[in-house]
Amino acid sequence: MRSRRSTRACAAPSPITVSCLRGNVEPIRLMKPYLDYSDVEQDFRAAFESGIFTRGENVGAFAAELAAYVGARHVFFATSATTALWVCLKLLGVGPGDEIAVSDFSFPATANVVEDLGATPVFVDVDSQTYNMRPEELEAKINARTKAVIFVDALGNPTGLHAIKAICERHGIPLIEDAACAIGSSEDSRKCGSIADLTCFSFHPRKLLSTGEGGAITTDRNDWAEWLRVKLAHGADGSKGLGLDFVDYGYNFRLPELQAIMGRKQLGRLDAVIQRRLAIRDAFATALAPLGLAPQRVAENVLHNVQSLVFRVQDTVDRDRLVQALKGDGIETTLGTYCLSGTTYFRKRYDDVQPVAAALEATTITLPCYDDVPVDRVVDRIARHMN
């Protein structure tokens, strides 16, 4: 039963209470950008004065700096992590009759791109503590039709990525890392973007490095890089007469110059941002432990960027009511992410709901995480509603 609210009164269901937000208490958001207009104003002005808004010097510089940061040989930009994933599947020749093994706890884009190309997403259940693909589940679902594996760094956590890579190498299957949330994260001292065969990043506003929208692909394969270089330039390769030589058909998923400026400004401070978010995570974890809220588990050999600060509530707690109650207090929270196999579309199409991912969708909660977030206030309201 969900709580009912009106302009006159707030219902108070048990065991979670719902309160009305009164007064001038500042709302607590899930996320705040790590970028101010003052950071980019001078470079924006220079771009406007030059009139160059695409394929400018900042796009090239951002690509080089991102490659150096993650330790990848090649970087190519896209309009989002979704288009980046789609392009990677096109590169691998994915189509009807192929199967792509995908982590089942993710945003639907991970499986949507597979469906769009006529292939079949095979949902692989996840670990109940790390929220990441379970190696034994993947092994059981690989067959002759498996064209690739998409491992999702759930909420920025790459725990287990190397174990999945070993399985892919043993079977001769390309590994795509959906690192939409994982920029700056690492496993075994190797940053996401330098481990899988292909890695896709997102620069969405909810991400630690945001350009409004945008994405990137990294790879160390020179042959794949050549394919991406031509395909992402409308199929052009050099010049022919007065124009370009279009040697293939291709696409336009460019990142504009202004967005590249935004990305460059944030990349240099990313590691410091992550350290501050780790401190916030530790503060929440300590304070929420007595209430039975368990944080996402991160392996000792992993640096987690804390893209999303997610806890799992006990089965006796109504997570949805808790989210609504906190909303009444002006505190923005939400679910962890989605069980892909349990979404309406994929459930109807494949009827293969993965139990752990489904349980995580129902019991995880994402809490606010940004500089100066009032941890005590958030914890106090959670405790009041749960008690």
Give the whole-angstrom CA distance, residue 323 versus residue 306: 20
Query: Would you give the DSSP letter of residue 340?
Result: G
Give the whole-angstrom CA distance, residue 143 versus residue 101: 10
Query: What is the H or E stretch that residue 338 is in?
Result: strand 338-339
Active site residue 240: no
Distances (CA, A) of 43 to 48, 212, 264, 359: 9, 17, 11, 47
Half-sphere exposure of 156 (CA within 13 A, CB side): 24
The answer to whether 207 touches 214, Cβ cutoff 8 Å, is no
The answer to whether 322 touches 386, Cβ cutoff 8 Å, is yes
Give the whole-angstrom CA distance, residue 156 versus residue 370: 15
Q: Of 147, 165, 191, 207, which is the active-site residue?
A: 207
The answer to whether 309 touches 206, Cβ cutoff 8 Å, is no
Query: Would you give the DSSP letter of residue 322?
Result: H
Give the whole-angstrom CA distance, residue 193 versus residue 210: 17
Phi, psi of 148 (to 5 degrees): -165, 165
Give the whole-angstrom CA distance, residue 323 versus residue 308: 16
Catalytic residues: 207
